[in-house]
Structure 1
Amino acid sequence: MATFSSDGVTLDYGDEGAGPPVLLIHGFASNGAVNWGATSWVRTVTGSGRRALVLDNRGHGNSDKLYDPADYATDRMAADVVRLLDHVGVERAALVGYSMGARIAAFATLAAPTRVAALVLSGMASALVDGTGDGEAIAAALEAPSADVVTDEVARGYRLFAERTRSDLAALAACIRASRQTLSAEEVGRIATPTLVVAGSEDRVCGSPDALAAMIPGAEPVTLAGRDHMSAVGDATHKARVLAFLDAHGA
């Protein structure tokens, strides 16, 4: 892993393989190694003859931990993505984001459309527009003295996952308070980049992939049968559909 400075924030990233670049952006409370390494995504991308760039988002993994929610506004996290491309000398890359990472990827695509060759929004569907969950409840769970005292099932799940990934709980609490901005239907309708929207059929977090794809001109929806928000990540069909999409669009 290597580091670079994004507006004064030191961020960790991986860079493997050669060929058309694919930037992988992980979800909340995860990191590049968990979201993309342990699930064989990096091996899948490089094995397809592509270059895999893997970013640890601010507040996550080995990147700087920040404790002001304002530092996690989605447009700032999206700017980190573009600055990583600048740092490694990549003019255009496919962006593949999962959950929070998909939100970041969508914001980055709107901010810098000429830098994005193809866009994959996984684990984030119509909730990108409609909103999802109670960020404050999750923040409270992260700040609780123990997961045992958290009664909200969803919030407790995030706390337990954050503990498994050995995350900085205070940094994540700041992040969740600021990083769930939505986009309007009009804004996502301006995305002209080839877009794939992927979600599990049992995902109760991210909304409908068909509904979001209908808002983005030419977007393709994919539903992974029997998969929920956690199990969809490493699904073999997920990987196959993403690679076929990238092949179809020369990315």
Structure 2
Amino acid sequence: MTSDRKSTGMAAMDTFTSDGLQLAFTDTGERDRPAVLLVHGFASSMRVNWIDTGWVKTLNEAGYRVVAFDHRGHGQSAKPQDEAAYTPQKMAGDVVNLLDHLEIGETVIFGYSMGARVSAFTALAAPGRISRIVFGGLGIGLVEGVGDWDPIAAALLAPSLDDVTDPRGRMFRAFADRTRSDRHALAACISTSRQELTEAEVGRIAQPTLIGVGTTDDIAGSPDALAALMPNARVFAIEGRDHMLSVGDRTFKAEVLRFLGEAA
């Protein structure tokens, strides 16, 4: 870890080293409180997914220690452009390395979209470190895939948004432009990070799990079909929300707090 700290506007940002990469993170709330680790989605960042949407504030005020970080290739973290750097296994390794760095033995993990996929890989790789799981924005797509992402990679590498005609490609290119992301790093990430799990692997995720998906989300896949594969999962329908808007929904926040409160 470095000693460098930068302001995110709402929380101090620090860095740690994982797999030779410097990754940015925040750690807020009382250290003796239960921990919640937030894992953001593709082309996003801890600021966009978790700070600006009020999740960090909501969880801190509810009495949780909240840790969030920027994935490799995203936000304030290092941005390798080698596709091999972005396997879910390596990205899950970043999660475990952050827990080790902060000496957190066990945590709730809450991942959104790609972050939910990384969270699932983490739960399988280090089950003893994960007490509860929240998957947001990802249902059976964890197993069956979430459609053709090659147009998204092409959209990210196009000279400008005006050159992109694919609707989903335009959505993610516009999002990447708005968040001022490194588009070449994101294109490398999307090429290898979308690896699926098998039904049998998902069935081994035994921690209590909440799956929240928007009712107009056309990316995630069925949350009910995913929950049916898991021994201890339930679904929350985020009414009237699509993939981009579900993450900050107030009813989703309330349901997550109820779910976390069950551990007490």
Common topology (TM > 0.5): yes
Q: 1:228 aligns with which of 242, 247, 250?
A: 242
Percent same amino acid among aligned pairs?
Answer: 54
Aligned residue number for residue 88 of structure 1: 102
Count of residues in Structure 1 that have an aligned counterpart in Structure 2: 250
Matched, 1:178 2:192: yes
RCO higher in 1 or 2 (8 Å CA, sep ≥ 6)? 1
Aligned residue number for residue 152 of structure 2: 138
How far residue 249 of structure 1 moved from its aligned partner, in angstroms, is 2.1
Matched, 1:117 2:117: no
Aligned residue number for residue 29 of structure 1: 43
How far residue 106 of structure 1 moved from its aligned partner, in angstroms, is 0.4
Counterpart CA distance in 2 for 1:115 and 1:184 is 22
Matched, 1:127 2:141: yes
Q: 2:208 aligns with which of 166, 173, 194?
A: 194
Q: What TM-score do you get using the length of structure 1 for normalisation? A: 0.98
Give the 3-state SS of the residue equivalent to 1:176 in structure 2: helix
Q: 1:219 aligns with which of 227, 230, 233?
A: 233
Aligned residue number for residue 26 of structure 2: 14
Any idea what the Cα deviations from partners look like across 1:5-51, whole Å, max 9, x if unmatched?
00211100001112110000000000000100000000001000001
Counterpart CA distance in 2 for 1:192 and 1:218 is 6
Give ranges in structure 2 of 5+ residues lacking alignment.
1-12
Counterpart CA distance in 1 for 2:222 and 2:153 is 25
Counterpart CA distance in 2 for 1:100 and 1:134 is 15
Q: What TM-score do you get using the length of structure 2 for normalisation? A: 0.94
Counterpart CA distance in 2 for 1:166 and 1:30 is 10
Q: Is the 8 A contact 1:194 1:249 kept in 2?
A: no
Counterpart CA distance in 1 for 2:70 and 2:52 is 14
RMSD: 0.6
Counterpart CA distance in 1 for 2:260 and 2:228 is 20
How far residue 136 of structure 1 moved from its aligned partner, in angstroms, is 1.5
Give ranges in structure 1 of 5+ residues lacking alignment.
none
Counterpart CA distance in 1 for 2:147 and 2:88 is 16
